[in-house]
Structure 1
Amino acid sequence: MLNHFLLRPALFVATLSSFLLTSCWKDVNPTTTLFNTNNPNGLATDREVNSWILTNMKYYYLWNDKIPANPDTSLTPDKFFLSLLYDRNNTANPNRDRFSWIQQSADELKASLSGQSKTTGMEYRLYYKDNTKTNVIGSVLYVLPGSPAAAAGFKRGDIFTTVNGQALTGTNYAELLANDALTFGMATIANGALIDSGITRQVTPVVFQEDPVLLDTTYSIGGKTIGYIVYNQFIPGVYQNGGSSDKTYDNKLDNIFGKFKQRGVNELVLDLRYNPGGYVSSSTTLASLIGKNINGSNVFYAQQWNSAVTADYNKKYNAGWNTQYFQLKSNNIGGNLSRVFILTTGSTASASELVINGLQPFMTVTTIGTTTVGKNVGSITISDQTGYIKWGMQPLTFRSTNAQGFGDYATGFTPSVEVKEPAYGMKALGDLAEPLLGEAIYQISGVRTTARRGVSPDDILPEAASSLDQKAGGSNMFLENSAKLLK
């Protein structure tokens, strides 16, 4: 079973063309491996799983010509999969495979790509309190409405220093945050110093469906009508029946832009600072609501697959199978825009970067924040149709380019205006005093709504990890300390 994505460490959901907008393909090309399905426990052996992995990787993997000639099939499937990845550990190569990943449960993988996972419902960053990199604090980035964290009273900007009665350190935070029952010890800032507040909050992770649209609103400032939307993952709809055929969230985007159009929005701030990517179909929907002077003949992005897949698909499908065009959207507001402002951080990746790159040939794209991840490659979800193999994998299978043929952004998009987020004292998203939004308002209207651009160097601490790295396969998901983090 194949599913196409464009997401951070492994998501860049790419649909080939309209007739492939389904959750699964039935015409899997690699020769089917015959398994011994009479195993006493009914589970595939590691060697069978590895054979399945290798068969699919030799056909679909973007760097299938770089797969080792004699990989060690005695490894466990997760380690075997990693052993196949192109130049994975060579940090000097920005075009290495940083993003392919595998999970023991294909069902959980598919659910996470559609915004459903076991979570407390809050995303946070962990910072070292000082340059000795010993003690760690957590700073809440946002909280999902209706989640356990929201019920416990968490909000953006909250700070925690202990979990289950233990102070967070650089060596224990991953283990502590992996517990199923979490009691957070909260802290506050008084006279510039961090002090324990004596308040604790208890929360238990549950399986929760995220609505990717966290906030939308409009502002009237300096003669401009400014639309603002916080969009945190490219998800078409509610996860169901092993896929995301539901279009609830895509329809919500359409309705929001219909509201923007009705209100005469003539400037747009798109907040993708925490968006690691997702379904390319949803990125096409979003870009098609924004692009200026676009129609169904304008290229949004094109894919470049390996030679084997390209040759086969050239025969199987009509010309243009690897090209995605913009959609005609009645709620497109591009006619009122000459530019778009996109807020970014080091958590902005994949489908988010696809929107940046795909819109640039058609309008001015001003990015505000910090440098994005640099995921100019896409992946597909591969799982076993028979259900005998329980694993699911998300290998990179193609590169992407925009209408001008540009796709060389493996080192990320450097912001047009650099603004860093503080570790302490974060303003609510949508607050005009929030540094990234405030800078966008200034760039649009000339009205300064923040005391200064960005944050003081005293408010910036060394980052240890982030729960966002675990969201649908974050870029650090294979690092030992990140892999165990729960949200």
Structure 2
Amino acid sequence: MTNLRKIILIPALVIVFISGFFSCGVDRWPEYAHMTALDTWMYDIMQQNYLWYQDLPSYDDVNLFQEPATFLSKVKSKNDSYSFVDSVMETPLPSYGFDYSLVRNPDIDTAYNALITYVIPGSPAATVLKRGDWIVKVDTSYISKKYESQLLQGIKPLEVTLGKYQLVPPTEPPVEGEEEEDIYRVVPVGEPVEIGAAVPLVDNPIHCKEILTLTDGTKAGYLMYNSFTAGTKDNLEKYNTELREWSNELYQKNINKVILDLRYNKGGSIECAQLLSTMLVSSYYLNQTMAFLEYNDKNTDKDVTLTFDSELLSPSGKNLDLATLIVLISGETTGAPEMLMHCLNGKIQKLIAIGSSTKGQNVATEQFINEEFQWSVNPVVATIYDSEHDTYPGFKPTYAVNASTDYLTFLPFGDEKEALLSVALGVLNGTYPPKEEETEETTKAQFKIEKSAISPASRRFTGGLRLK
């Protein structure tokens, strides 16, 4: 499409507005052409590639002077909650490297305690924090809305006071004849500690891997996998290589039971999902159909059939021919991990899901980068079907478990007492679900989460399911 056509199709009101500048004898068209160029570029990309391109408004009905995210929200289909725009950054933003959730301090009306939900290995935060810790003070002040921003947006070294969730004595003597209830509080512990200055960080999607011993002496592999990301800009296969090495380690030890932790996995590339699926699937299905990708009617030549491709394992990866796969999932799990689970369901002897239902996404986005403006648009371009050529909803858990109802079991990933992992081990050991008479009451969380915050560096891929 030529620039002339773009100019002609600009809404009439915009032309009248610009013509006011021409009447003054000053040609300011180049300035406004630049202002509309990014939205025009996005619109042209979507006209050709968008799965629901028929739902796009005409040029006459769009405002090309809007910010990219606003423009996309105005033109995309009502069926679409997956397309997105993003800036293209050469260097990651500085970060301390931890995520947290805020809960109110029950003893101070305006104060909060911050529960550490995630820590990037090797980050400044990792020297003093781990998942399940609490921060009760920042620079000697209790956490308020004013000081909370320093946890996420600060750059300089940060002094924090840690706390521990524990049983505390009642403040009043018990009433005679009444049963006394346990009271748990977050209690400050120790002297303040320092988190080093924020630095640019890249979060490895292979967050944690362990080999766990079951009660019968057999082994199970545990993998906390946070995004389906192949590698870095400098090493395109860096993380896929680590996955292959992990599968080879389990293969050499004859491990055919895996616990795959996807609760924080918000998606990533189809190629990574294909690779990991090929590692885990029953060997009978190697090189058979895994899924179908179908594009709009302008791009049917791109339609493809994916297989559990054994060539992807080369040079060091192995097919584990799993007997049992347990997936730990949550409401944050979406896109690529959902594709993996639906494509493997029925192709492993046992596939058991623990946690809460996933979001449900069976369409893929593709990234298109505008180098001039350093922005990308990521429209939905294809529908994903399983091997039976069926679409699929969110993945429902076999055992519904809320991982945050007991702060005493809110522990680091890979800890055998951590809420979801302990249930998974119980399933493998045959002790879960417990018999009714053996069920014990748990200590329920006494606090309501007011807000969850994610560090820029641990902003795991949020595109759901992408092609590139």
Counterparts of 2:306 and 2:3, CA distance in 1? 33
Aligned to 2:295: 305
Structure 1 residues 173 and 444 mapped into 2: Cα distance closer, same or farther (>3 Å)? same
Alpha-carbon deviation of 1:118?
4.0
CA shift for structure 1 position 292: 0.6
Alignment of 1:263 with 2:230, yes or no, is no
- Of 458-467 and 273-282, deviating more is 458-467
Relative distance call for 1:144 and 1:172 in structure 2 (3 A) is: closer
Q: Whole-Å Cα distance in 2 between the matches of residues 136 and 290 of structure 1?
A: 43
CA–CA distance in structure 2, aligned partners of residues 62 and 50 of structure 1: 18
Return the structure number with greater relative CO, CA threshold 8 A, min gap 6. 1
Q: Which SS does the other structure have where 2:243 is aligned?
A: helix
Distance 1:236 1:135, change over 3 A: same
Within a 5 Å distance, the mapping from 1:414-425 to structure 2 comes to 414-422=396-404, 424-425=407-408
How far residue 210 of structure 1 moved from its aligned partner, in angstroms, is 2.1
* Distance of 1:463 and 1:418 partners within structure 2: 23
The alignment status of 1:55 with 2:44, answered yes or no, reads: yes
Cα deviation for residue 169 of structure 1 reads 5.3
Helix, strand or coil at the partner of 1:285: helix
Work out whether 1:340 is the aligned partner of 2:325. yes
Tell me which of 283, 305, 322 is aligned to 1:323: 305
Further displaced range: 418-427 or 456-465: 456-465
Provide the secondary structure at the position in 2 that maps to 1:255: helix
Structure 2 distance, partners of 1:133, 1:219, is: 43
When residues 377 and 168 of structure 1 are mapped into structure 2, their CA distance, relative to the original with a 3 A threshold, is farther
Give the structure 2 partner of residue 437 of structure 1.
Answer: 421
What does 1:219-230 correspond to in 2, within 5 Å? Answer: 219-223=212-216, 224-230=218-224
1:99 alignment partner AA = Y
| Structure 2 counterpart of 1:217 | 210
Equivalent residues of 2:227, 2:461 under 8 A apart = no
What are the residue-to-residue correspondences of 1:383-462 with 2, within 5 Å? 383-384=369-370, 387-409=371-393, 412-422=394-404, 424-425=407-408, 426-447=410-431, 456-458=443-445, 461-462=448-449
How far has the Cα of 1:456 moved from its partner?
A: 3.9
Is the alpha carbon distance of 1:237 and 1:464 closer, same or farther for their aligned partners in structure 2, counting shifts above 3 Å? same
Partner of 1:374: 360
Contact 1:274-1:345 at 8 Å conserved across structures: yes
Partner of 1:156: 131
Classify 1:56/1:247 alpha carbon distance in 2 versus 1 (closer, same or farther; 3 Å). Answer: same
Q: Please provide the CA RMSD for this pair.
A: 3.6
> For the residues of structure 2 that align with 1:289 and 1:408, how far apart are their CA atoms?
22
Q: Within the alignment, does 1:201 sit opposite 2:177 as a pair?
A: no
What residue in structure 2 maps to residue 15 of structure 1? none
For residues 262 and 453 of structure 1, what CA distance do their matches in structure 2 show? 39
Distance change in 2, residues 1:169/1:289 (3 Å): same
In the TM superposition, what whole-angstrom CA distance separates every residue of 1:127-176 from its partner, at most 9, and x where no partner exists? Answer: 4567x99754332223222112113x111111124556665557985686
Q: Which amino acid aligns with 2:101?
A: R
User: Highest CA radius of gyration, 1 or 2?
Assistant: 2
Q: C-alpha separation between the residues in 1 aligned to 2:262 and 2:319?
A: 18
Give the residue type in structure 2 aligned to 1:290. L
CA distance in 1, matches of 2:223, 2:93: 23
Pairing partner for 1:250 from 224, 232, 240: 240
Cα distance in 1, alignment partners of residues 31 and 275 from structure 2: 42
Is the alpha carbon distance of 1:272 and 1:53 closer, same or farther for their aligned partners in structure 2, counting shifts above 3 Å?
A: same
Aligned-partner SS, 1:301:
strand
CA contact (8 A) 1:341 1:440 kept: yes
- CA distance 1:300–1:460, change in 2 (3 Å): farther
Structure 1 unaligned runs (5+)?
Answer: 1-30, 88-95, 477-487
1:457 match: secondary structure: coil
Number of equivalent positions: 411
**What do residues 158-195 of structure 1 show as CA deviations (whole Å, max 9, x unaligned)?**
11245566655579856863333455443322421123
Compared CA separation, residues 100 and 473, structure 1 to 2 (3 A): farther
Tell me the residue number matched to 1:84: 75
Q: Does 1:120 align with 2:96?
A: yes
What CA distance in whole angstroms lies between the structure 1 residues aligned with 2:449 and 2:427?
Answer: 28
Which 4+ runs in 1 deviate beyond 6 A? Answer: 39-44, 448-454
CA offsets 1:202-245 (integer angstroms, 9 cap, x no match): 343322222221222222213332111111111212223xxxx6
TM-score computed with the length of structure 2 as normaliser: 0.77
What runs of 5+ residues in structure 2 fail to find an aligned partner?
A: 8-27, 168-183
Q: Do the aligned partners of 1:129 and 1:136 also contact (CA within 8 Å) in 2?
A: yes
Could you tell me whether the CA contact under 8 Å between 2:104 and 2:447 is conserved in 1? no
Identify the structure with the greater helix proportion: 2
Q: What percent identity do the matched residue pairs reach?
A: 22
Q: CA separation in 1, counterparts of 2:120 and 2:463? A: 22
Question: Counterpart of 2:24?
Answer: none
3-state SS, counterpart of residue 357 of structure 2: coil
